[in-house]
């Protein structure tokens, strides 16, 4: 399959979902007025991330003296500027050796992993250090209005590096990997032949981008399901793929709910991962994002690892505290999403975690039951037919069920800091309520009749 095949399969599935009419009308009206007349745009510094480091689906890469990669990048909204950031750092084990970067090039993608003739632009030439101590290398900003990222086309970003003897830390990403020499990745005339979508991507490779937007911004932390691991129905894990970043269910929820998110999720990650390690928290710039909300979608790996309920609750308390104090979410809504079954037993522990999260502890603003979106009931020990790829991760249809459930149940109020003109407001009310106004309506206000 080509990259466009993967994108087509995932997107084609999502439009088969039923939706309440009022929800559709309200969201479309909100989108129009937020973008045109209602809200003053806010500058947000967000991060496009690959899958999490030290994850379990693809192992850390063995050392290679020379390596390179090309990564296709899209963002949900057009950027005003962007740059590359990289590090060679273990989320759970700490420091690694620094790498020697050999260059960064970008340009429109033509076909799978190929640059068009004469359109690629060198962003960095010559050697640069990719740190291994937890800090990041930052490239210069790309400020050319004609070279900005957006939702319609893929920008291909290529980099190369040389490595010392120890392992390079890897995340997951759809990318083309050049294992023989770094120069092939940066040679814009070199044509690659096949997609490599489920292999580890060397380094913690990210795109930091700035947007001017009226969308809400949020921090989403989770495991491999949030990361975007999917596959055809009823196959083995080896047949799973990592979706394009914008097609993971958190980003699809954000796309259709006027939001942008920093998705800090990784395969095999649990509440314990976030509570015991600072590595996941230092991946993105939380201050620049100006978060309006947070989402925690953890618990599946915790119950499979037989984590005691008391320990899970303690870890969640640490997570919420860090979201509020480190990430700027004090006084802002944080939502919990339920764990889902894994077809591997220990579901009694999952139900304990589910029931505790459903009480909205730790000051949570809300709870979304994902289990009954993909299974017949809370106590079901397997995904419903056709909704899972391997019993743990969703199929394309299962992913769409998750999107729909979160769209239905998780809504956020407009931020209090937003600027709204009076004649841009609208009111929802029933026909009876409207009739009772007896003509005393505001001619500059829109009234949305429910029912």
Domain co-membership, 391 together with 264: yes
Domain co-membership, 246 together with 285: yes
Residue 21 has pLDDT above 50, yes or no: no
Residue 257 falls within a domain, yes or no? yes
| CATH number, domain containing residue 126 | 2.60.120
Residue 89 has pLDDT above 50, yes or no: yes
3-state helix, strand, coil in the chain (%, to 5): 30, 30, 45
pLDDT digits (tens, 9 = 90+) for 222-253: 998 998 888 788 776 655 666 677 788 999 99
pLDDT digits (tens, 9 = 90+) for 35-66: 443 468 899 999 998 776 766 665 555 556 78
Which pLDDT does position 343 carry in this prediction? 80
Q: At what angle do helices 396-409 and 3-14 cross, to 10 degrees?
A: 50
Residue 442 falls within a domain, yes or no? no
Q: How far apart are CA 178 and CA 176, in angstroms?
A: 7
- Reference 171, options 331, 270, 330, 57; nearest CA is 57
Domain co-membership, 248 together with 324: yes
Q: At what angle do helices 309-325 and 347-358 cross, to 10 degrees?
A: 40
Give the percent of the chain with pLDDT over 70. Answer: 75
Vertex 15: Cα angle to 13 and 18 (nearest 5): 115
pLDDT digits (tens, 9 = 90+) for 246-287: 788 999 999 988 899 999 998 889 999 999 999 999 999 999
Residue 173 banded pLDDT, cuts 50, 70, 90 = low
Q: How far apart are CA 113 and CA 124, in angstroms?
A: 19
Q: What φ, ψ does residue 438 adopt, rounded to 5°?
A: 50, 45
Domain co-membership, 148 together with 247: no
Which pLDDT does position 308 carry in this prediction? 94
Domain co-membership, 200 together with 220: no
Domain co-membership, 203 together with 227: no
Residue 420 has pLDDT above 80, yes or no: no
Q: How far apart are CA 356 and CA 398, in angstroms?
A: 24
| CATH number, domain containing residue 308 | 3.40.50.1110
Determine contact, residues 427/441, Cβ cutoff 8 Å.
Answer: no
Average pLDDT, the chain: 81
Domain ranges, residue 271:
1-38+215-420
The CA-atom distances, in angstroms, between 236 and each of 159, 216, 233, 300 are 32, 37, 9, 18
Domain co-membership, 76 together with 167: yes
Domain co-membership, 167 together with 313: no
Q: How far apart are CA 439 and CA 283, in angstroms?
A: 55
Domain co-membership, 96 together with 8: no
Determine contact, residues 369/330, Cβ cutoff 8 Å.
Answer: no
Residue 445 banded pLDDT, cuts 50, 70, 90 = low
Domain co-membership, 117 together with 161: yes
Q: How far apart are CA 31 and CA 26, in angstroms?
A: 8
Task: Report the SS3 class of residue 119.
Answer: coil
Residue 436 falls within a domain, yes or no? no
Comparing 372 with 119, the larger pLDDT belongs to: 372
Q: How far apart are CA 151 and CA 14, in angstroms?
A: 17
CA quadruple 27, 30, 33, 39: dihedral sign? negative
- Reference 84, options 114, 109, 116, 106; nearest CA is 106
Domain co-membership, 380 together with 357: yes
Residue 245 falls within a domain, yes or no? yes
pLDDT digits (tens, 9 = 90+) for 312-364: 999 999 999 999 999 999 999 999 999 999 887 789 999 999 999 999 999 99
Residue 431 falls within a domain, yes or no? no
Residue 4: its H or E element: helix 3-14
How big is the chain by its Cα radius of gyration, in Å? Answer: 22
Which pLDDT does position 189 carry in this prediction? 87
Q: How far apart are CA 213 and CA 413, in angstroms?
A: 16
Domain co-membership, 73 together with 138: yes
Mention every residue, 6+ apart, whose C-beta is less than 8 A from residue 51.
Answer: 57, 171, 172, 173, 201, 224, 227, 228, 229, 242, 265, 266, 267
Mention every residue, 6+ apart, whose C-beta is less than 8 A from residue 199.
Answer: 58, 175, 177
Q: How far apart are CA 417 and CA 265, in angstroms?
A: 29
Residue 32: its H or E element: helix 21-33
Residue 446: its H or E element: strand 446-450
Which pLDDT does position 2 carry in this prediction? 39
Structurally, the chain folds into a number of domains equal to 2
Which pLDDT does position 286 carry in this prediction? 95
Q: What is the dihedral of CA 79, 135, 278, 410, to 10 degrees?
A: 0
């Amino acid at each position: 399959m080509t990259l466009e095949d993967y994108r087509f399969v995932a997107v084609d599935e999502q439009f088969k979902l039923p939706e309440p009419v009022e929800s559709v009308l309200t969201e479309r009206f909100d989108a129009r007025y937020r973008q045109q007349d209602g809200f003053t745009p806010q500058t947000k510094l967000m991060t496009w991330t690959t899958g999490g480091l030290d994850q379990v689906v693809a192992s850390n890469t063995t050392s290679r003296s020379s390596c390179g990669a090309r990564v296709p990048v899209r963002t949900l909204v057009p950027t005003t500027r962007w740059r590359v950031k990289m590090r060679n750092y273990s989320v759970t084990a700490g420091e690694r050796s620094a790498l020697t970067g050999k260059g960064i090039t970008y340009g429109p993608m033509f076909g799978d992993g190929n640059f068009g003739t004469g359109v690629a632009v060198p962003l960095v030439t010559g050697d640069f250090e990719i740190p291994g101590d937890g800090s990041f290398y930052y490239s210069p900003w790309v400020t050319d209005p004609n070279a900005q990222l957006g939702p319609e086309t893929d920008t291909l970003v290529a980099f190369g590096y040389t490595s010392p003897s120890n392992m390079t830390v890897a995340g997951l990403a759809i990318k083309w990997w050049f294992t023989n020499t770094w120069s092939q990745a940066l040679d814009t005339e070199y044509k690659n032949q096949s997609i490599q979508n489920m292999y580890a991507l060397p380094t913690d490779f990210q795109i930091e981008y700035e947007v001017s937007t009226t969308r809400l911004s949020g921090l989403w932390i989770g495991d491999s399901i949030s990361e975007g691991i999917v596959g055809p129905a009823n196959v083995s894990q080896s047949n799973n793929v990592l979706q394009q970043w914008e097609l993971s269910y958190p980003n699809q929820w954000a796309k259709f709910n006027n939001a942008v998110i920093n998705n800090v999720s990784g395969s095999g990650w649990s509440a314990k991962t976030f509570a015991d390690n600072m590595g996941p928290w230092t991946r993105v710039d939380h201050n620049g994002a100006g978060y309006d909300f947070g989402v925690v979608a953890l618990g599946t790996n915790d119950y499979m690892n037989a984590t005691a309920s008391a320990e899970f609750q303690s870890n969640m308390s640490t997570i919420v505290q860090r979201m509020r104090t480190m990430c700027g979410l004090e006084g802002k809504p944080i939502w919990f999403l339920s764990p889902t079954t894994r077809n591997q037993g220990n579901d009694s522990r999952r139900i304990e975690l589910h029931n505790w999260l459903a009480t909205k502890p730790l000051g949570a603003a809300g709870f979304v039951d994902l289990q009954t979106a993909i299974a017949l009931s809370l106590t079901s020990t397997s995904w419903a037919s056709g909704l899972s790829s391997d019993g743990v991760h969703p199929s394309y249809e299962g992913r769409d069920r998750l999107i729909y459930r979160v769209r239905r149940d998780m809504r956020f109020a407009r931020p209090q800091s937003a600027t709204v003109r009076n004649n841009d407001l609208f009111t929802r009310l029933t026909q009876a309520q409207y009739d009772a106004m007896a003509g005393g309506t505001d001619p500059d206000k829109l009234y949305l009749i429910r029912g």
